[in-house]
Amino acid sequence: MKIQTIKVYKINIPLKEGSYKWAHSNWVEEFDTSIVVIETDKNIIGIGEVCTLGSSYLPAYSKGVRSGILEIGQSLIGMNPTDIANINLEMEKKLKGHPYVKSPIDMACWDILGKYHKMPLWKLLGGKFGEEIDLYRAISQEDSETMKSKVKEYKEEGYSKFQLKVGGEYEEDIERITSVSSILDSNNILVADANTGWKSHEALKVIKKTSKLDVYIEQPCETYRDCVAVRKKTINPFILDESIDSINNFLQAYNDGAMDIINLKISKLGGLYKSKQLRDLCIELKIPMTIEDSWGGDIATAAISHLAHSTPEKFRFSSTDFNSYNSFSYSEGSPQRIDGKMTASDSYGLGVELDFSKLGEPEFVIS
């Protein structure tokens, strides 16, 4: 089998809530997502997606995805997409770094691999664990009463895990955490996600003022050093996200005892190939994970579901379903949230069929 054509589409995905806000005064009203369609000489098509959550969250940006694919795409024409290790080596050879550029291509190749072997992706990634995947709900950064109201609403929809977007003025963050905590039950999980927004002294003040509450602290500071310093001064369960952008960085954090849980984002690693490597390493080292991506639509949600569902439940701290945050769907077969949970499809590959009428014309075609 050979790759014949790579098509790249750009679509904008509006948010159901109108906007999404997090640390450093970042906010968006719609997401620019890139969809990759790989066509083969065996009439098997693979699809992938990456959405960078704007240009100021990680060292990644939406226009960079498409220009990066133009840089590496031609070298992939004629290669066998089911030789995923070789595909990843070729992408790294042609473009150092920029894993987010490679992620949708890798994802599309996995989709082809599943369709070729007539297997759902979860089977190729390790098998299915459990009947459902528990989801968290991210709560956009607002005033404390608005965030409290949203948590109450999502509790009624079946969610039991909530990720508060904090990392603003620390006094306001204390109120946000305290207010939301007051309406949670003992079986609920509350994560205060600062998205690198606090200085270390601010993080310590927040932790001290909320020390009697059952709350996880996620990525309080921008630098790994500051996160470790905060970690050493608190007994709160600790999550690292932005600092874990490679297997080497994970190993350093593990050896430093820097976290209890990590957020594994597919595009930060460059796709499912390396995400599976890190996932399996976390299982071996007994580190639970939130399995997700930076953002996305139907395809990204499907990829998340397969990686999460093929992860043993005791190491699957949480996951997310980005397509339920969005007001635009472009496919059939993507996982749908029911009572705060989702399941991975049993159809071949990702299990997603694109509605090309909603994608428009591709931005470019490589052949």
Catalytic residues: 165, 265
Phi first, then psi, for residue 54 (nearest 5°) are: 80, -165
Strand partners, 40: 3
- Ordered alpha helix ranges (H), the chain: 62-76, 84-94, 99-116, 121-124, 144-156, 170-181, 200-209, 224-231, 247-255, 266-269, 272-285, 298-309
Tokens of 136: 């968290």
Cα Rg of the chain, angstroms: 20
Burial 55-91 (b: 16+ CB within 10 A, else e): eebbebbbebbbebbeebbeebeeeebbebeebbebb
Nearest-angstrom CA–CA distance, 146 and 124 = 42
CA 235/CA 221 separation, integer angstroms: 17
**Cα gap 193→177, rounded to integer Å:** 10
d(CA 48, CA 299): 6
d(CA 208, CA 173): 12
- As a whole number of angstroms, the distance between CA 316 and CA 271 comes to 18
